[in-house]
Structure formats: structure tokens, C-alpha cells
Amino acid sequence: MSADPQVPLRADARRNRDQIIAAARSIFSDFGPEVPMEEIARAAGVGVGTLYRRFPDRDALIRAVAVDNFARVLDDARQAAEQEPTAWLALVRLLHQSVELHLSVQLAMLSKKAHEILKEDPAIASLRDELLVELEAMVRGAQREGTLRPDVAEGDVALLFALLLRQLESRSPEVTRLSTERSIAIMIDGLKAQPGTPLPGRPLSRHDIH
Amino acid sequence: MSADPQVPLRADARRNRDQIIAAARSIFSDFGPEVPMEEIARAAGVGVGTLYRRFPDRDALIRAVAVDNFARVLDDARQAAEQEPTAWLALVRLLHQSVELHLSVQLAMLSKKAHEILKEDPAIASLRDELLVELEAMVRGAQREGTLRPDVAEGDVALLFALLLRQLESRSPEVTRLSTERSIAIMIDGLKAQPGTPLPGRPLSRHDIH
Amino acid sequence: MSADPQVPLRADARRNRDQIIAAARSIFSDFGPEVPMEEIARAAGVGVGTLYRRFPDRDALIRAVAVDNFARVLDDARQAAEQEPTAWLALVRLLHQSVELHLSVQLAMLSKKAHEILKEDPAIASLRDELLVELEAMVRGAQREGTLRPDVAEGDVALLFALLLRQLESRSPEVTRLSTERSIAIMIDGLKAQPGTPLPGRPLSRHDIH
Amino acid sequence: MSADPQVPLRADARRNRDQIIAAARSIFSDFGPEVPMEEIARAAGVGVGTLYRRFPDRDALIRAVAVDNFARVLDDARQAAEQEPTAWLALVRLLHQSVELHLSVQLAMLSKKAHEILKEDPAIASLRDELLVELEAMVRGAQREGTLRPDVAEGDVALLFALLLRQLESRSPEVTRLSTERSIAIMIDGLKAQPGTPLPGRPLSRHDIH
DNA sequence: TATGAATGAGATTTCATTCAT
DNA sequence: CATGAATGAAATCTCATTCAT
């Protein structure tokens, strides 16, 4: 679920590493990827020195958090595919579980800088590809089932996700939850196979997303 | 279109002020609200000193840009309402013009920090309210026309906008444009008065958005 | 002798802290409390960063120097009281040792700004009060002995000190020393119990000095 | 009373110049000679441009204020010498009038920087010399009269003045006034011809004061 | 000529990263 | 190994001075 385990790592070191990633995930997600390293260290309950021993610089930490997150989402996607009776339902479930996706996307797309960092990383590239393959299967499946409009591809869906997942901060939790749910529902309605407006352009595939 | 003119301001000063806001809009929009002030000054073709004379600190600049932007969008909304034959078409046009909205929303909602700054500012609060009033009229109109699903309110639409407008950086411009257009179309389809999934919760009004 | 030790502080950090205060004392005393922080850091043999880690801003440094200084003077006063055979002699000795007081007073009273900063600080307030209590004892003692004119109180003496200690910069060191000694002597003569001019007003007590 | 009138100067320009000097005197005296030029301009009711047209830089302004002040004090000294029946009384009166001296001394001695500036200026040097000559006359006279202790010279008195005149800011105006009066009285008692402590060193003449 | 806008050098402050304890 | 102190480069901000209006 995390990554790059090289050498097994002693138990306490392991624990530190996990605490750091957890702290970083939460802080990045709340304040963006520019927070002082010391802040993250404090939140993780370790000294900066320890943080730097584990992650040589900020970029490495960002990468590690992203890898961890993509891995979680990939897990989710696979479980959904396996457990849901139809591809459409798997897709819908994934959309609703998307809170997890949140950070990945945030990191991947929010700040230009973070994106530069992540798009270099092969570990991330490969996870992202696996995720898109999974998504492609769902999309094709749901189209075969006749439930998903035929003029979209996995790229469209991924990008729609991406939009969604930029959680809207800073209003009451109740409204946040409600608004997320309702936005998802509206989007899902827009995705349903139905007359509707013909979409402009061409279906966006996973190859359109760098 | 801009704001807070206090004392008329000499012609050259005025020009500089406008250049600074324009530069800041563009740079904030591309790199977020943390870029060095010197960068912004350079892009505006003035010295840092000038920037600071006009805007005592970064927050003041962020506020000024947001005010300017909200004012533009409000303009757009009013023109759309006036010129389009139906409320639904006005709404659709506004959604498509939403690239303008981009920055307002980005600034208003993207980073927790920026949001804190903006939500204090009375000028912004009042512009935002005017905008939501405008939107409310469109929504009610379109529902009366029978084109907009009846279980949404202006808050829903605003939040949907907001999602949309977080332009997805960092892919080819062609894909960016395409994806934006297609996402809008899908959302619009989702908004159409039609069977569809009943939405969870209750319509979100403008009073639900702080 | 210094102050506010919160957590014990590592040996090297402690050493740095002391060096910074020493350097600041000397530089403030020579050039006033506006010298560039970098100057102070250099004089202390540390980087600016270190200085700022220890003292979050200039005010904090000023406060720390003042606390350190008041503490020294209080020490001096107590030793004088204990070791000298008469209160009068203790007072005279304190006056002559007053070069130490120099900076405290300079900082406390010289620049309006510095004074604002210091008068907030409870640590300084309490040290100053202790010092004035000490002084009051000397004054009362010397008056009982019949050596000090009866129409003064500790406030008068403190203010006289304060004047004196604003060392006159900027002439040859020899003249500086001489002039200080001579001024003290003249003032002491003025304080001796004698016919002399009756003083205007009323004795100023320590409650007259904020 | 002011200085360096080169060309007569138009009436309004003259007025501006005087306002600036008055404002600068008051502000320097309250906050030291480092206040922003803009502050001074504002207090004088003119733009910075005007200030700079009159005084090419801060040093020139400091010099002008000092010249103006020394001139006033010299006037006072001469009047005292002329109008008082004895040299001693003239001296005492001058001491009491010393509040006027305040700024001169403050500027002349307070900040090392200001002192550097002033000691270069020939106009000031000559005013100061005239003042010290005046003082020397009083001192000698009072010694001849037998009222002033014989082991002091005009340098001692000037330096004692100087100390005094660093008015102690920042307590209640009543205490300030009282304390000044009482300190002067104590010093005068200390200066009276009397047994007293023999002073250390040698009389300081005006040649000891650079 | 008076004004106040523009400039940029320098001061303050922050923080990523290294390194002694 | 973990810690947190030290460093200095880079950012923020201020202000003396010049110059367009």
C-alpha cells in the first residue's frame, strides 16, 4: 500500500515513515504542498531530522504520499470491479468512494509544481496507468451494458472525477457532504445513456491524459 | 469593472494599478497565490515598490484581484440574462463563459489560506451576493420554463460551476479545452429536467454558501 | 542572571543565546536599538537564522537584553546593600557602578519605541519593581542615617540615575570617563543632607515611575 | 534664528521651510532622527517633493533643525547674561530654560549617527562655540562671585546640561515636569560652592567637548 | 513650483536543508 | 538513529530619493 521498501526497515523506523506519510497526506490535503517541512514533522511527532532521513527532500515526500494514495485508490477500484454486479455500479461506487482519490488528484493536478514532480516519477506513472486500465474496463463494460453513454471514454470519466475531487473547502461540513453527493448525482445523470446533448469533440482516452 | 477607487488616482498610477492586477490575475491563475511578489511586479512592468505602494501586502493584492474578477463575472451574468431569450440559455451561456469565472473561484475556494482572506472582505461578499442573486433568477426562470430540473437551486449550480472552473492544468491545451467543453456538456445534461436519479438531500440555496 | 529558561536548552544553544545577548547589549549600547539584525548576528558569530530561532523578532531580542540587564543591576544593588556599612555608601557605590545600568536605562527610556516594547513585558516590570524596592530601602536608610536629604524619595534617585546613565557618547573615552565621574560626584553632592535649595514638588516614590 | 538664507526666498517658500523645520523638530524630538521623511512631510503639510526641494537629504534637514535650535539657545543664553544680576543666576536661569536646549542636545549627542553629521557642519560648530564662550563667561563669573565651586569649568556644566536635557519621556507629564525641576535643583545644589566632595580629574573646558 | 508616484537598494523574516549532539 | 540547532539563500517589505505630472 505504501512504496519503495528497498530494505525491510526496522519496526520503529517503519512506524515513523508511516506516521510521516499520514501527517503529510492530511496536511497537504488541507493546506497544499507548500507547508513548512517542520510543520509536517511536528504533526508526525518526529524531528525534522528524522523526516529528512526518510525523505531526502520535499519532492520525495510528495512522491511518496502520491504513491501511497494512488495505491489505495487502485485497491478501491479493483475491489469495486470485483464486488459489484455491473460495471456501471462499480463506476458509481468508485465515484462515491472518491474521497480517497481526493488527495491523489489534488497533488497530481492542483499545483503546477506538484504536477511536474509527479509526472517524472515512474512508480506513479505505472500506478496511474493501472488505474486507468481498470477504469477503461469499467467504462467499456458499462457501455456494453447500455447504461453509460457511448460517446465517452475513460479519459472523460477520469477528468470528471478529477474536477469533483477538488473538494470544496471551507463551508459547513454538512453542506460540503451534501454538495459533493449532489454534484456526483448530477454528473452521473449526465453520464447516463440517454438522448441528451451530443458531446463536442471526441471521446478522451487515457492516452490523452499525460 | 474594477473596484474601490477612493480618490480618483492619477492617470499613470491608474494604468499601473490595472497592469498589476492584470499581471497578478494571470500569474495567480497559472501558479497559485504564492508566487513571489517580485515576479508579479516584473510581469506588470513596475518595481516592487510600486506594487507595495498600491497594495500594502500580498493579501491586499489577492483581494483586489478577486474583486476585479467577481465584478467581471457579474457583468457577464447580467449581460447573459439580458441578451439571451430564455433563462436556460442564459445559464448555459454563463457556464460556457465560465473561463472568466475561473480565477475568482480559484482564488475564492482553492487554497484554504486564500479563502480565509477573501471571506473577510465586505466588497467581495457583496459582489458574490449580487452574483448569486442573478443566478437565482436564472435558476428559477429556467425551472419555470421547464428546462431545468426542479430539485436544484442556485447553490447547487454555483458549486457545480466552482468545480468546473478549477481548470485542469498541465495537459495539452487542446485536451484542456476539449475536456472543459465536454465536462460542461455532461453537467448540463445532468441538469436537464428529466427523469434521472432523484437527488439526495435538499436544494442548496445561496444561503448555504458562506 | 539572564531569564526565561523554559526548557533547559542544549549546551551549544545556550552558549549561542548568551553570545547573542552579549553582542546585542554591546551593539545596542553603541548604536541604539535599530542596528540591522544581521550586524548583531555577525557580532555574535552566528547566522541570522540562529538569531531568529532564538528571538522571533527584534522586539523579543530587545526584551531579552533588557531583562538580562535589569537582572544584573538588581544583583549589584543587593550586593551593595549587603556589603557596604551604610545605606549612603551603598547608594554611592550603586551610582558609581551605574555604568552597568547604562543599557537597561537606555533601552528602557531612550527611544519611545523601545519603551513601548519594554513596558508591556511582565518579566521586566517585576525586575524593575524589585530594583525600586531595593532602592527605596537604601534611600530610607540613608535618610535615617542623616546623610541623604529628606525631601527626596527613591523615584527621584532613580530618575537621576536614569539621566546619568545615558552615557554621553561620541567624545574621547578619557573625557567620557572623566565627565561621568565628575557628574556623579556633583550629583552626589547635590544629594547630601544639607541646607541647599528646598526641592520643588514632592518626593517622587517608586509609584510615580511606570 | 533659522539659517543659511542664501537668497531671500519667496514668502510661501519661506513658510514651507519654517513649517518643515517645526515639524521635524517636534518629530525628531519625539521619535528620534530616523523617522521616515514622508512622515515629516505629512506633519508639515507638504509633499515629500517639497521637503526634498528645500533640504537635499535627511542630513541637511537634521543640520537645519540643529542650527535653528542652537541659535535659539544662544539667544537665551545672551539674554540671561544680560538681564540677570549675577552670573550664577544667569546660569541657573539658563539651566531652567534648558527645555529649549532639549533638542539640540538630543540631536547633538543622542545618536552616534546624528553626532557625526553635526560635528562636520561649520555653522553648527560656530554656534556651539559661541554658546560655550557664553557659558565660560558665566562659569568664570559665578566662580569669581564665590557661588560656583571652583573645580569645574564650562565643559563640566555643558555636559551636566546635556545629561539633564535628555528629557525622560514616557511617564505622566506631571511627573516629567516635576522630575526635571527636582533634578535641576539637585544638580544646582551640587554645583554650589561648598566643601563637598572634591571632584576627580580636572575641570573640563570647552576644548574637551568636540 | 508642488505633488505624490515610481524606483530599487537594503532591511526583515522565513524555511529548506545540513550537521553537531 | 533521532533530535533539534545552525545556516544562508530567497522572500517579504520599507523607505530614501528621483522624476513625471
**Three-state secondary structure readout of B27-69:** HHHHHCCCCCHHHHHHHHCCCHHHHHHHCCCHHHHHHHHHHHH
- Contact predicate A192/A144, CB 8 Å: no
DSSP chain B: -----SS---HHHHHHHHHHHHHHHHHHHHH-TTS-HHHHHHHHTS-HHHHHHHSSSHHHHHHHHHHHHHHHHHHHHHHHHHHSSSHHHHHHHHHHGGGTHHHHHIIIIISHHHHHHHHH-HHHHHHHHHHHHHHHHHHHHHHHHT-B-TT--HHHHHHHHHHHHS---SS-HHHHHHHHHHHHHHHHHHHBSSS-PPPSS----GGG--
The pLDDT value recorded for residue B99 is 58
Any idea what DSSP says for residue D6?
A: S
User: How far apart, in whole angstroms, are the C-alpha atoms of residue C62 and residue C70?
Assistant: 12
How confident is the model over D152-164, as pLDDT tens digits? 888 888 877 777 6
| pLDDT value, residue C78 | 94
Cα gap D94→B122, rounded to integer Å: 59
Judge whether residue D140 has pLDDT over 90.
Answer: yes
| HSE-CB for D111 with a 13 A CA cutoff | 19
The residue in chain A having the minimum alpha-carbon distance to the alpha carbon of residue B28 is A111
Q: Compute the distance between CA of residue B107 and CA of residue B69 in angstroms, rounded to an integer.
A: 10
pLDDT at B70 over 60: yes
CB A158 within 8 A of CB A70: no
| Domains along chain C with CATH numbers | 11-56 (1.10.10.60), 58-194 (1.10.357.10)
Residue A207's alpha-carbon distances to A158, A204, A210, C192, D25, in angstroms, are 12, 8, 7, 97, 74
Model confidence at B4: pLDDT above 50: no
Start-end of H helices in chain A:
11-31, 37-44, 48-54, 58-83, 87-96, 99-105, 112-120, 122-145, 154-165, 173-191
Stronger pLDDT, A210 or C31, i.e. the higher one = C31
Residue C14 has pLDDT above 70, yes or no: yes
Give the residue, B186 or C71, on which the prediction is more confident: C71
Q: How confident is the model at residue D4 (pLDDT cuts 50, 70, 90)?
A: very low
CB B110 within 8 A of CB B162: no
Asked if A196 has any chain B CB less than 8 Å from its own CB, the reply is: yes
Spell out the residues 6+ positions from residue A44 whose beta carbon is closer than 8 angstroms to its own: A16, A19, A20, A22, A23, A24, A51
| Element holding D78 (H helix, E strand) | helix D58-83
Tell me the average pLDDT across D68-95.
91
The total of other beta-carbon atoms located within 10 Å of residue C206's CB is 18
8 A C-beta contact, residue A118 and residue A63: yes
d(CA C19, CA C32): 18
Higher-confidence position of B3 and A118: A118
Q: In angstroms, rounded to a whole number, what is the distance separating the alpha carbons of residues D34 and D37?
A: 8
Cβ–Cβ < 8 Å for C138, C91 = yes
Q: Write out which nucleotides of chain F lie closer than 7 A to a protein Cβ.
A: 1-21
D-contacting residues in C 78-107 (Cβ below 8 Å):
none
Q: Is the CB of residue D147 inside 7 Å of nucleic acid strand E?
A: no
Q: With pLDDT > 90 as the criterion, what percentage of chain C qualifies?
A: 31
Q: Work out the widest C-alpha separation in chain D, in whole angstroms.
A: 59
Mean pLDDT in residue range A157-163: 70
Is the sign of the CA dihedral D59, D64, D69, D74 positive or negative? positive
| pLDDT average, residue stretch D16-22 | 92
List all residues 6 or more positions away from B57 whose beta carbon is below 8 Å from its beta carbon: none
pLDDT at D2: 45
Q: Which position has the higher pLDDT, D124 or D3?
A: D124
Per the CB < 8 A criterion, the answer to whether A25 and A2 are in contact is no
Q: Do C186 and D188 touch (CB under 8 A)?
A: no
Residue D177 has pLDDT above 50, yes or no: yes
Q: What rounded mean pLDDT belongs to chain D? A: 81
Mutate one of C96, C132, C189 to test the D interface: name it (highest D CB count within 10 A).
C189
Lowest mean pLDDT, pick from B116-125, C61-70, C188-197, D167-176: D167-176
Q: Stretch B43-60: mean pLDDT, rounded?
A: 93
Query: What is the nearest nucleotide to C13, using C1' and CA?
Result: F5
User: What is the structure's pLDDT at A168?
Assistant: 46
pLDDT in tens, C119-156: 788 988 898 889 889 999 999 999 999 888 888 888 88
Torsion angle of the four alpha carbons C159, C163, C166, C172, in this order, in degrees rounded to the nearest 10? -150
Grid cell in block for residue B156? 447547487
The beta-carbon neighbor of C181 closest among D112, D196, D201 is D201
CB contact under 8 Å between B182 and A200, yes or no, is yes
- The residue among C5, C9, C3, C46 whose CA lies nearest residue C24 is C46
If you average pLDDT over residues B171-175, what whole number do you get? 60
Residue type, B103: L
Which of D202, D119, D204 is closest to D160 using CA atoms? D204
The secondary element (H helix, E strand) that includes residue C102 is helix C101-109
C-alpha cell at D209: 567637548
CA A161/CA A135 separation, integer angstroms: 11
DSSP A172: -
With contact defined as 3+ CB pairs under 8 Å, the chains touching C are D
Let me know how long chain D is: 210
Q: D62 at the C interface (CB within 8 A)?
A: no
Per-residue pLDDT tens for D56-70?
A: 999 999 999 988 888
Q: How far: C157 CA to E11 C1' (Å)?
A: 39
The 3 state secondary structure assigned to A75-125 is HHHHHHHHHCCCHHHHHHHHHHCCHHHHHHHHHHHHCHHHHHHHHHCHHHH
Q: What is the pLDDT of residues C160-178, one digit of tens each?
A: 777 766 655 555 667 777 7
Q: What is the pLDDT of residue B3?
A: 43
Distance CA D32, CA C60 (A): 21
Mind listing the pLDDT tens digit for each residue in D183-192?
A: 777 787 877 7
Out of A150-154, A187-191, C61-65, the most confident range is C61-65
* Rounded distance between C-alpha atoms, residue B100 and residue B200, angstroms: 30
The 10s digit of each residue's pLDDT in C77-115 is 999 999 999 999 999 888 878 665 555 555 554 667 777
Protein-proximal positions, strand E, CB < 7 A: 1-21
What is the distance in angstroms between the Cα of A8 and the nearest Cα belonging to chain B? 36
Name which residue leads in pLDDT, A10 or C46. C46
Quote the DSSP letter at residue A198.
P
Q: At what angle do helices B58-83 and B122-145 cross, to 10 degrees?
A: 20
Phi, psi of B148 (to 5 degrees): -105, 135
Cβ neighbors of D46 (< 8 A, separation 6 or more) are D16, D19, D20
d(CA B204, CA B153): 6
From the list D62, D82, D43, the residue with the least C-alpha distance to D3 is D62
Whether pLDDT at B124 is above 90: no
B210 touches chain A (CB under 8 A): yes
Average pLDDT of every residue of chain C: 81
